[in-house]
Amino acid sequence: MVDASSATDGGERDDAGASDDEPAVPAVDLPGDAFDAVLDALADRDPGEPLRFEGFSVARGDEGGYVLADSDRSTRLGEGELHEALSERAPAVTDWYAFERVVGEFGPRRAFVRWIEDADGETVATRYAALAEGIERAWGELKITATVTDRGERRYDVRHADDAGVAVDELEVHDDPLDARDLVTYDEKGRYRPLKTAPSLAGGWAFPDLGPRDLYETVETVYPATVANWHREREGELDVNHWRETMERQSGIYGVVKTWDRGEGHEHVDWVAEACCDDSQCLKRREWEYDDETDLDVDGGDGVFPCREPCSVVVSAARKWTRLESEQERTYEFELTPSEKEQVEDIVDAVADGRVDEIREADTKEGANRYRTRFLRAKRFDDEGNLGGVPTESDDE
């Protein structure tokens, strides 16, 4: 397999269509659909108006027939001769056909499939050679492998990155993009995933033979709106809604979040972003800040696709924390040994980082070990569940 970033630049070509700097182009046949599409495209153009391919162009002649032009010369051809000439240049023609007719629209789908093989930066020869081996791209927890058939058709294998290298017959195989809706609903432990861009996607499945359109639909089903927003960002059109403007729109039970304003700073929003938007919690790259003029102190992450506004998970969590933060601080006094204090810290860290299930039952050196935690509870909690025997509310309240 070839990483898309490893393709080389093309140099001056020899008669075989490759150069010293470029790999040889795999043998490609010219499908009838591609040739018919060329004729249709030429019919829609005025005589002399060229249809451009990599390295050459074709136009209708002023007096009938066609004119093929490359860097050396122009040649008049009949339809049969044109078919023969295009067959000799099948990689360039099928490349044009794949994007112009199969993929079509100038939008996120087209930009995405071109990005996978770096179609805007590499030559047909370089890309077809890489596609023959398989070009791999990562999109969140997905691994996308692009290949090309002997007719220049793009095919895509989509699976969980953890299943890279697993034989297809060992995975649950799908071909309908809508099947992905069920695959992304629960994590590997059967728990509901409220945030579809959380790094908790379960594996064990594959979409091994998708076309460009189904590829786009599958990826957008797994990670909704990520390709669309990635494309808007590339085009300089991403509309970012920052924290304050998003919270100003809240109403009903969520309206309480609007009362959680910056005051002397925006530490509370930093805490929210650190809790919910870290790379370990969400694969998006956070682009929203406190407002247009005030950045948060928390890093936005390194994800390939952007987050344009606080999501529903963030808003829901902020609502709960707004109510909790309205409580007045109190001083509670109870005794812990130094090791017990560190153990409480270890427990909080383990829960916050999602590592509880990774701690072995026999490893009592770990502060968040289940048996060690049960020992701490037996020693320091009273029968009412109060730490140190100290009630949360005093008798006077």
Write the pLDDT tens digit of every residue in 367-392: 999 888 988 898 899 998 999 888 88
> What CA–CA distance (Å, rounded) separates 75 from 63?
14
Task: State the distance between the two ends of the chain, measured CA to CA, in whole angstroms.
Answer: 68
Q: Which residue has the higher pLDDT, 359 or 323?
A: 359
Give the CA distances from residue 28 to residues 88, 134, 151, 224, 234, in Å, rounded to whole numbers and listed in that order. 9, 16, 5, 35, 32
Q: Where is average pLDDT lowest: 70-74, 145-149, 239-243? A: 70-74
CA-nearest of 351, 371, 372, 369 to 359 is 369
Residue 29 pLDDT level (bands cut at 50, 70, 90): very high
Q: What is the pLDDT of residue 396?
A: 61
Q: Where is average pLDDT lowest: 245-259, 273-287, 372-386? A: 245-259
The residue count for the chain: 397
pLDDT at 6 over 50: no
Q: What is the pLDDT of residue 265?
A: 55
Q: Where is average pLDDT lowest: 7-21, 218-232, 355-369? A: 7-21
pLDDT at 243 over 70: yes
Tokens 């009273």 appear where?
382
> Considering the entire predicted model, what is its pTM?
0.82
Q: What is the pLDDT of residue 284?
A: 96
Query: What are the structural domains of the chain?
Result: 8-102 (no CATH), 104-233 (3.30.1360.190), 239-325 (3.30.70.2320), 330-397 (no CATH)
Tokens 């790094």 appear where?
199
